[in-house]
Amino acid sequence: MMDKNKFWELIQTSYKEADWVTDKEMGLLINKLAEYSQEEILKFGKIYEIYANESYKSKLWAAACVMNKGCSDDCFDYFRGWLISRGKEPYLNALLDPDSIVDLDIPYEDDYYENEAMLSVALEAFNKKIGTDDINVYFERIKEFELDSEETFDIVDEIAFGEDIDAKWDDDDEESLRKIVPKLYEQFW
């Protein structure tokens, strides 16, 4: 049965089995998820949407900006995908304190801390499950699919945000970035 715990378990086991290599992790995660029912895959997609939406926070965007030497809207979506793909504890800790990301054992895979593929894991697994390449089928189904309010509350209830998580900063003002995420700034900027 897909729920927030199974969501995080699938992510964590895929990440470990892939030896912490993002591309391998996404392939494993898609294959594991495709073994579930269509409804459970859609539920995974909705759970991801909640976690992604809840992490749309200014201080976290500052962390992405520092780690990636700049960060557009799309980059921030991919950064949040990357953060979620690291697992539950890093995700929740980063919402309390984005600077906590510096404490992760982060293998440096390429030039950016992004995971665009995480945004489409449910889509890819769903299409694999039903044997199609037509992305519209998934989007029609996910649009109609809703978690019940208790499930949504259960997910959101365990998320705690740090003080001033929506603090203002300016990517043209290095000092504002240094104040928001001093440890990340020291390591990445």
- Return the H-helix or E-strand segment holding 172: none
List pLDDT tens digits, range 66-123.
999 999 999 999 999 999 999 999 999 999 999 999 999 876 666 689 999 999 999 9
User: Could you tell me the pTM of the whole model?
Assistant: 0.96
Identify the burial level of 1 via C-beta atoms within 10 angstroms of its C-beta, where 0-12 means exposed, 13-18 middle and 19 or more buried: exposed
- Three-state SS at 134: coil
